[in-house]
Amino acid sequence: MALWNDDAFIGGHPALDFVNTVEDQDKCRDSSRISDWPGFLGWANASSLFSKEQMNVLENEIQQTDIPTLLRNIHELKETAYAALSGIASGETQTDEALQKLEEGIRIALNNSSLKLKENYYIWLPDMVNPNWVIDVLTLSIESLLRFHDMTKLKECGRCSWMFLNQGRGRGRRWCNMRTCGNRAKSVSFRNRKQ
């Protein structure tokens, strides 16, 4: 399987696809698919999150000395977003620490951005002079997910930690992907019934 094929973008929103950038067959989240700069660039290029101008800066203008800190901040944001969204998907009604941290990040990202017209609607564009503009782009995507999507549709895979917007009727999807987690769960269920 190619690392960034359609199976890597099953979330229904770029923010969820960002959260899903882990190799995960359980709930460990201990193997990141964007653990190095080429991995992050591959994902960023395959996603719809970054503009052509932003991709050009990512590929050609980020200083090598800035990359370790940037990667650390990207991973911290990814895991904070996962913790907050997992709580929302499970129906937790209380405000938790991860959601509060995410809210602080959203306030900072909005403060670092300007409202710009794109075709026939407005979007927040981070100031690319700010060294944290990459984090701001990712954070504003999460903000967009939280504000413009029905969070009752947010689901976490029953087998792994990948998240998605459930567009099915009724209970709908239980697995991030039927070919991977769905088939594994069916195999386990079949073996358990045979015993």
CATH number for the domain that contains residue 10: 1.10.3300.10
* Of 3-7, 25-29, 62-66, 181-185, the least confident: 181-185
pLDDT value of residue 160: 92
Question: In whole angstroms, what is the distance from residue 105 CA to residue 159 CA?
Answer: 29
Q: Is residue 115 part of a domain?
A: yes
Please, which pLDDT band fits residue 193 given cuts at 50, 70 and 90?
low
Calculate the CA 12 to chain-centre distance: 10
Say what the pLDDT of residue 25 is: 73
For residue 108, give its domain range. Answer: 6-194
Q: How many domains does the chain have?
A: 1
Query: Which of the residue ranges 3-12, 30-39, 174-183 would you say has the lowest mean pLDDT?
Result: 174-183
What's the pLDDT score for residue 95? 65
Looking at residue 82, its amino acid is Y
Tokens for 20? 């899903």
Q: Which pLDDT does position 85 carry in this prediction? A: 96
The model's pLDDT over 105-128, given as tens digits with 9 standing for 90+, comes to: 999 999 999 999 988 999 999 999
**Residues 113 and 124 sit within 8 Å (Cβ to Cβ):** yes
Beta bridge partners of 24: none
Q: How far apart are CA 158 and CA 113, in angstroms?
A: 37
Is 1 a member of any domain? no
Residue 142 is assigned to a structural domain of this protein: yes
59 in a structural domain: yes
Q: How much is the pLDDT for 68?
A: 96
In a domain, 170, yes or no: yes
Q: Helix or strand or coil: residue 31?
A: strand
Which residues on adjacent β-strands are paired with residue 125? 114
Inform me whether the pLDDT recorded for 155 exceeds 80. yes
Residue 122 is assigned to a structural domain of this protein: yes
Indicate whether 84 pLDDT > 90: yes
Mean pLDDT of the chain: 88
